[in-house]
Amino acid sequence: MPKARGAAGAQGGLAGALNSALKKYGGLWFGWSGQESDDRTGNINLQRNDGVTTATIDLSKRDVDEYYNGYANSTLWPLFHYRLDLTEYERETGKGYERVNERFAECVTPLIEEDDLVWVHDYHLLPLGERLRSRGLKNRIGFFLHIPWPPTRLFVSLPFHERLVRTMLEYDLIGFQTGEWLESFLHYCRKELGAEVDDATGTVTLEGRTTVARAYPIGIDWDHFQDQGNTGEARQAAQRLLSSTRRRIAMIGVDRLDYSKGLPERIDGIGRFFDQNPGRVRDLVYIQVAPPSREDVESYQKIRNLLEQKTGQINGARSEVDLVPIRYVNRGYSHAELYGFFNASKIGLVTPLRDGMNLVAKEYVAAQNPEDPGVLILSRFAGAAQQLGDAVLVNPHSPDDLSHAIRVALDMPLEERKARYEAMIGTIRDDNVQDWTRRFCDDLAAAGDQT
Ligand code: ADQ
């Protein structure tokens, strides 16, 4: 198959997934280096690591402020996670977003060869395909959105929403995580743009041009994650956690420190559980691993403070000399260590208020011992809930619902835990990231033939 050329705006859950895809298919990864510099000479930094070639450029401080912290993470991210209350609408950052997308297009165009597939990733780069087309690129160009697509009534609050979606219709193929986000996108195209939409095939036709939109739920890198689980590092991590919790049951949450992940609401739910079941405080220890993220954005500083405050309140009220009910760890761990922690935790708590997919939910289940698996408590508003209906599903906004789910999970008999695990593990193993990549790339390669 032709080489795939990827482009992505920033690191996150998707970086690991795409790395493994590129290793398999070859090709080149293009994006922002993550560095700030005022070097405008257009230097592209080419590197080859572990079989993957990356081409990156630096951005100026102004570009980072307006494009990355501004429009991408203070406008699109909150809006696409249904948080109108946190969404900022600034014309200047919108211009910065367009300017940086144009710069990316200018830098990547000379690297693209005639038979390449071009695969653009995520909300940082919605207009990139149109910018590439304006430079005469005739290649197949696909786009995948890793986060939700909001309902039309929310999306139209974005100034120039129509212009943004029209640029997206220059892609040959647009992928979403779930059928729900896909439906919202198709609804918008029909209602607001007056496009001709065929729901069965996902084709959207506007002014003579046709784009295909489909759902491609992303999965984990199953083989790699299992390999990590077989390392001494994973075993040591599991042992460390077990010996430090002694006879208490460990319940774990692992999330980027982001308001979409529902962390303060989760802590409220745990507090409610302790209030309603005071005799069980000694049974349970909750471990929250949450490395800081996007620290230059104000709403992220606020969420961090709020979480520290809530955790402190519960620990202040419930701790004993030999017992701290909530351990809050503000750092990242390797995948091997996470595997070990998940494996040693009898409950996995994944309760985002809104999430495109959520790979942690899949990793938690993948790390369980089939003979004695733990219980996944999962928000019904995570994309992953569409595939993992056998988790204990919860409404993350309701402390009572969370409290009830924790009690159900603590008391769940082994047979039921096994049955739920077995109902979920097949899709987590088989619908993995390699399968996701293959399905998207095959459809992209064929997209022009169908339209
Ligand atoms: P994220 O919002 O980053 O991703 P998620 O899908 O959970 O969320 O992926 C996070 C990844 O980072 C997982 O592989 C996890 O193990 C790792 N991670 C999280 N916390 C960590 C920690 N403390 N230490 C080390 N690793 C940690 C975005 C979207 C999601 C979508 C993914 C992939 O927001 O909805 O599932 O992209 O498409």
Q: Which residues, 6+ apart, have CB-to-CB distance to 155 below 8 Å?
A: 79, 149, 161, 184, 188
Do both 279 and 356 map to the same domain?
Answer: yes
In a domain, 304, yes or no: yes
Q: What is the ipTM of this complex?
A: 0.97
Q: Atom 24 (ligand 1): residue with closest C-alpha?
A: 332
Residues with CB under 6 A from ligand 1: 12-14, 16, 146-147, 218, 254-256, 289, 291, 332-333, 338, 355-360, 363
Instruction: Give residue 359 CA to ligand 1 midpoint distance, Å.
Output: 6
Percent of the chain clearing pLDDT 70 (strictly above): 94
Local confidence band at 8 (pLDDT 50, 70, 90 cut-offs) = very low
Nearest CA to ligand 1 atom 1: 13
Q: 393-431 burial, b for 16+ CB within 10 Å, e for fewer?
A: bbbbeebebbbbbbeebbebeeeebeebbeebbebbbeb
Nearest C-alpha to atom 37 of ligand 1 is from which residue? Answer: 13
What pLDDT, on a 0 to 100 scale, did the predictor assign at position 17? 66
Residue nearest to atom 10 of ligand 1 (CA): 13
Q: Measure the CA–CA gap between 299 and 260, rounded to whole angstroms.
A: 11
In this structure, the answer to whether residues 136 and 76 fall within a common structural domain is: yes
Nearest to 99 by CA among 77, 138, 56, 68: 68
Distances (CA, A) of 406 to 141, 148, 276, 352: 45, 27, 11, 16
pLDDT score at 451: 46
pLDDT digits (tens, 9 = 90+) for 291-331: 888 888 888 888 889 999 999 999 999 998 888 999 999 88
Give yes or no for residue 357 having a pLDDT over 90.
Answer: yes
Q: Are residues 383 and 404 in the same domain?
A: yes
Residues 84, 70: one domain? yes
| Total residue count of the chain as it appears in this document | 451
pLDDT score of 2: 38
Helix axes 335-344, 222-229, angle to 10 degrees: 70
Please check whether residue 235 lies inside any domain of the structure: yes
- The whole-angstrom distance between residue 18's C-alpha and the CA centroid of its chain comes to 12
Domain presence at residue 451:
no
Confidence bin at 247 (pLDDT 50/70/90):
confident
Q: What atom in ligand 1 is closest to the CA of residue 361?
A: 7
The verdict on residue 424 lying in a domain is: yes
pLDDT digits (tens, 9 = 90+) for 78-88: 999 999 999 99
Domain shared by 215 and 226, yes or no? no
How do strand 347-350 and strand 375-379 relate by DSSP bridges? Answer: parallel
Same domain assignment for residues 76 and 48: yes
Pocket test for ligand 1, best of 178, 357, 363, 428 (most atoms within 8 A of CB): 357
Residues 64-122 have pLDDT tens digits of: 999 999 999 999 999 999 999 999 999 999 999 999 999 999 999 999 999 899 999 99
Nearest CA to ligand 1 atom 2: 13
Confirm if 304 and 328 have CB atoms less than 8 A apart: no
Answer whether residue 412 is part of any domain.
yes
Q: What domain range is 284 assigned to? A: 222-430
- Going from the Cα of 370 to the center of ligand 1, the distance in angstroms, rounded, reads 24
CATH assignment at residue 286: 3.40.50.2000
121 is catalytic: no
pLDDT reported for residue 24: 72
Q: Is there a single domain that holds both residue 254 and residue 278?
A: yes
Q: Is the pLDDT of residue 129 over 70?
A: yes
Q: Do 195 and 254 belong to one domain? A: no
pLDDT at residue 4 in the model: 47
Mark whether 355 is an active-site residue: yes
φ and ψ at residue 182, rounded to 5 degrees: -60, -45
Side-chain half-sphere CA neighbours of 337 within 13 A: 8
343 domain residue, yes or no: yes
pLDDT at position 9 is 39
Catalytic residue among 81, 121, 124, 146: 146
- How is residue 44 written in tokens? 């592209």
- The verdict on residue 36 lying in a domain is yes
Q: How far is the CA of 256 from the centre of ligand 1 (A)?
A: 7
Provide CB contacts within 8 A for 449, sequence distance 6+. Answer: none
For residue 450, pLDDT over 50 is answered with: no
Indicate whether 265 and 164 sit together in one domain. no
| Distance (Å) from CA 324 to ligand 1 centroid | 27
Q: Judge if 214 and 230 occupy the same domain.
A: no
Same domain, 56 and 187: yes
Give the residue whose CA is nearest to atom 23 of ligand 1. 332
Which atom of ligand 1 sits closest to the CA of residue 383?
35
Cα–ligand 1 centroid distance for 242 (angstroms): 24
- Give the position, in ligand 1's atom list, of the atom nearest the Cα of 384: 36
Structural domains counted in the chain: 2
Average pLDDT, the chain: 92
247 and 215 housed in the same domain: no
In a domain, residue 339? The reply is yes
